[in-house]
Structure 1
Amino acid sequence: MKKITVENYTQDKYYDKVVRAMAVVLDKQGYVSPIDVMVQMQKLTPKQVEDWRFARIAYLERVTAGGLGAVNRILRLMGFHAHDLNLIPSQTAYRKWGKGKKITLRFSKSGEPKLEAAWSRHYVCPKRTRQLKQKSSTDNVSDEASVATSQ
């Protein structure tokens, strides 16, 4: 497939893998990020992401498995699928973890703005986020109640 478009993206060879990975990540945390999807698809490891977050790796693209073409396809497929799911795009700033100056982390060698934006774009599901917040607050209330009754 030459170029991924709205008309043909569901026929792409990565489409099913991207959909499955997005579903797992979305169910777990209520939003989807390219990094989480790449980890779920085993294109990145959590250790590689951590090394990048601490600026031990200059740019994330360097350690991403599958090559730049595959990564770009996956990012594009994520955008189309997120649109189909009515997820809300949200840009996220990635800054260096740890000591020292909090520099903005790079995703790509080129630093091309559109590519950097695609990598840093999270897709939020308002409904799922509300459910997770309610579950969390319900868990906290029941934890507080059990602590109060045990004292």
Structure 2
Amino acid sequence: MKRKIYSVMNNILQEKIYISPIDVIMGVGILSVKDYESWRFGHVPYLEQVCKSNLSNLSFIMRELRTYAK
């Protein structure tokens, strides 16, 4: 999983000059564009509800993003 996260972050960084957590979560495949749009427009009360993973995996991704940024 760690290798996939870093690969996604490298790809995002090559396309843009910044990395957002949403882009990483979508790149890993935990969140679809449709579900993201539903959350963004207020049809879903919280993002974790539409993520196809548990909170510990999301927390792991955020920790790796912080590590990558450092």
TM range (shorter): over 0.9
Runs of 4+ in 1 over 3 A off after TM superposition: none
Gaps of 5+ in 1: 1-13, 84-151
Instruction: Please list, as runs of the form range in 1=range in 2, the aligned pairs for 1:1-151 lying within 5 A after superposition.
Output: 14-83=1-70
TM-score (norm 2): 0.93
The offset of 1:66, in angstroms, is 1.7
Query: Matched residue pairs, number?
Result: 70
C-alpha distance in 2 between matches for 1:31 and 1:48: 22
TM-score (norm 1): 0.45
Which of the pair is proportionally richer in helix?
A: 2
1:45-68 deviation digits (Å, cap 9, x = unpaired)? 011111111000100011111211
C-alpha distance in 1 between matches for 2:13 and 2:38: 24
Name the % identity: 33
The offset of 1:25, in angstroms, is 1.0
Amino acid at match of 1:35: I
Which of the pair is proportionally richer in strand?
A: 1
C-alpha distance in 1 between matches for 2:7 and 2:22: 15
Gaps of 5+ in 2: none
C-alpha distance in 2 between matches for 1:54 and 1:81: 30
